[in-house]
A and B are shown apart, each in its own frame.
Chain A
């Protein structure tokens, strides 16, 4: 049985090995401190009062009864946010952005989604805070909710914001609109391209809002001291992002805000935005005591940031030889209550796997009365790939060409120009497609069908950028010959391990001698979020560069000790040696032991914003079984193939590929925000928001294709985003193979499958 395969070209001492992660023991014995685990002297507990309506005007808020409730220490509303006292003139161009950010934290004039925070209470314990919050009286004027991009874009649609205009690369529309932005990309002449095609397929697709589904709820604890110093503890993918967002919304200098990132119970893109942190800060400011807020699961679903629901139309044409002649798509992704859906990245990812002569893409960022959407693993790319890869499957069928053969004939490769302009450097899509085609899974026919069950196989590919962004590392050589690596990147799932491995590799010392840790925002240079599959690449480069610096300092120190010239000393395999005098030789540990008496510690730091993004491609194969009587789809076999560049810790790379695939399976089959006619989410629990459980999944086989990224010394690309891109279409394609029905709306629930089978039979 095939399980996990690594296709390596280069072997290293530490890179590519599978050591135990440095933070592992604390996490298996329950000692690791996650955000909700924090406690402080005098800690108060907060509760947020949230809107029951999806769209309403707030007419009044009366907190008097709650204020008098025993045990209550502070109550805040939007009036306590600085925005309430700032004029449009004072804020100038930044007015609207601040209004949106401030209103998102605590609703000002209008509530724009069910769960929108309206007020918050701090009290001696969480139960009292909850009781008091219920005593706050809010009078609303209900407004009609706008729940889908199609509704929101229709003529005469109810507007969420009176002052939101469509921005089209700097061009602003004349009238207010729910469309916050429109982008267009073009190459060649699509009309001509379609004319040249033998087969043209055009289809529309819709996907529901889905949630990242991290198990740890959002949390935020803050202490606002009398001198204005604000300390924040929270679970976040980026402590510096929290700091800047807090500074913006609270109009408080970044120098007075210290954010300490706690261990993180899952993010997947959903733990970048601030929610509870500014509320905890304001409640602390008012009460003079530290305040902790933790969402319950209902709040996580209703008031954090799901991934965008979408409407996508795709049209593709190909010659009879299976060469693409034109690719066109319109993509509207919902942003939730405030602008910022990943429509533009969805557009850039849509046809990224293909080299085609003519293309036209229109992308729309659309506001609706849902919680403001956030990133979710390769934001925008899964929705786009679902549509595009479904159409590709249909093209293959119409042309009678094997799906891998078709993809190989049109595959993006080094030198292919993407529609938005840039040209690919060395990428590994072709290698992935070839690995997939020759994989045991694809070479083994789909099992025979037991009675009443329909089986089929689907394949799809996917893309993500893996851009670098800013990272910082501080390295210190300890007297015992170990090296402390302090970084600004929080550890979502093995970052400490992958950074320690790269440091060990760069220095040539033992993995166990690297001591990685994560710093607060006062203790390290600016570091962008852990996300976008950037961290192993960019923070890895930072530690590799700092390691080179450490080596140079050690050479200098050895030279000083030996009274030799620096250029006569070299560092080889963690040994300092004189190039011509073999007597002069010191191991790494020996020199470390002498540092304190020969001039003090040796340290190095690196702040980097690296070029050399290592674009990542994935190809997935899935076998499904459909119960003809119930419409239920079971996953029988699943294989994920991906070019991750060099896999630093293959176990965690496989884990990313398996986890991304599992999330994609949930997205494809069962996960969705279910809204009633009033725009209220009705399935905000893990019971009714059906994420895959252990029984829903088979083992997920992986193939790591290692096409080295030329932009990283060990060839690292990054892994976490791409694996969620192909599953949606792969499963839809498999269901088609099994049933003959094209499912053009996600999730493909048993009810939808039944409906489709009934329409197919004409019953």
Chain B
């Protein structure tokens, strides 16, 4: 059995080097290797979206990406959204609209919403609901989440 693989990637704008086993998912690498636990595991099979990250600007489930696959690529996680100037407009909108209850799905929803609003800040309710179909929330019934994303879109226009 050979040893772990060296991977170099850009995560949240910074160059990162790490060792991982090929069988470790990007989610495991983020959480267990790099200590970035903001990305959450809900199902580990691509059906809940809690582990959503941006991979070269596209949203993906990080449980369905191998850590070795991000060699030379760019990843953005929930930890990369707020800046020294403050929260990202989507984060602020989630707070103001009470769009989180337990909060476990929240990082995934916020990152997924960023993937949409960066391209389509004017997305309407139907478009938002369709875009977020891969993100499960069990607390809110989605109502306040959709309102928060609509609200954030207004601010990002």
Residues of chain A having any CB pair with chain B under 8 Å? 18, 20-21, 23-25, 27-34, 36-37, 39, 127, 212-217, 263-268, 294, 296-297, 492-494, 649, 651-652, 654-656, 658-659, 661-663, 685-687, 691-695, 697, 699-700
B41 within 8 A of A: yes
Is the CB–CB distance between A268 and B48 below 8 Å? no
CA distance A37 to B139 in the complex (A): 20
CA distance A455 to B65 in the complex (A): 43
Shortest B90–chain A CB gap in Å is 8
- A28 with B37, Cβ < 8 A, contacts A268-B138, A297-B43, A655-B98 known: no
Which residues of the other chain, A, contact B21 by a CB distance below 8 angstroms? 127
CA distance A33 to B106 in the complex (A): 13
- For window 26-51 of B, CB contacts with A under 8 Å fall at 31, 35-45, 47-48, 50
B141 within 8 A of A: yes
Is the CB–CB distance between B47 and A39 below 8 Å? no
B68 within 8 A of A: no
Is the CB–CB distance between B38 and A31 below 8 Å? yes
Q: Which residue of B lies closest to A214 (CB)?
A: B138
Is the CB–CB distance between B103 and A27 below 8 Å? yes
Q: Which residue of A30, A267, A661 contacts B39 across the interface (Cβ within 8 Å)?
A: A30
Is the CB–CB distance between A686 and B77 below 8 Å? no
Q: Encode contact with A along B130-157: 1 for CB under 8 Å, 0 otherwise.
A: 1011111111111111100000000000
Which residues of the other chain, B, contact A296 by a CB distance below 8 angstroms? 44
B110 within 8 A of A: yes
Q: Which residue of A29, A36, A127 contacts B41 across the interface (Cβ within 8 Å)?
A: A36
Residues of chain B having any CB pair with chain A under 8 Å? 21, 23, 31, 35-45, 47-48, 50, 77-79, 81-82, 87, 91, 94-98, 100-107, 110, 125, 128-130, 132-146
Q: Which residue of A29, A265, A268, A691 contacts B40 across the interface (Cβ within 8 Å)?
A: A265
Closest 10 CB pairs of A and B: A30-B38, A265-B104, A662-B141, A493-B101, A651-B98, A27-B103, A30-B78, A686-B47, A658-B141, A37-B37
CA distance A572 to B154 in the complex (A): 43
Q: Which residue of B35, B102, B104, B145 contacts A694 across the interface (Cβ within 8 Å)?
A: B145
Q: Which residue of B lies closest to A693 (CB)?
A: B133
Q: Which residue of A30, A651, A687 contacts B79 across the interface (Cβ within 8 Å)?
A: A30
Shortest B20–chain A CB gap in Å is 11
Can you list 17 residue pairs at the A/B interface with Cβ under 8 Å? Answer: A25-B95, A28-B95, A29-B91, A36-B40, A265-B40, A652-B98, A654-B144, A658-B141, A662-B138, A663-B141, A686-B43, A686-B45, A693-B134, A693-B136, A694-B135, A694-B145, A697-B141
- A215 with B129, Cβ < 8 A, contacts A29-B82, A265-B104 known: no
Is the CB–CB distance between A213 and B138 below 8 Å? yes
Which residues of the other chain, A, contact B129 by a CB distance below 8 angstroms? 694-695
Q: Which residue of B lies closest to A215 (CB)?
A: B42
CA distance A621 to B144 in the complex (A): 19
Shortest A503–chain B CB gap in Å is 19
- A655 with B95, Cβ < 8 A, contacts A27-B106, A686-B43, A694-B129 known: no
Is the CB–CB distance between A28 and B44 below 8 Å? no
CA distance A268 to B133 in the complex (A): 22
Q: Which residue of A lies closest to B105 (CB)?
A: A215
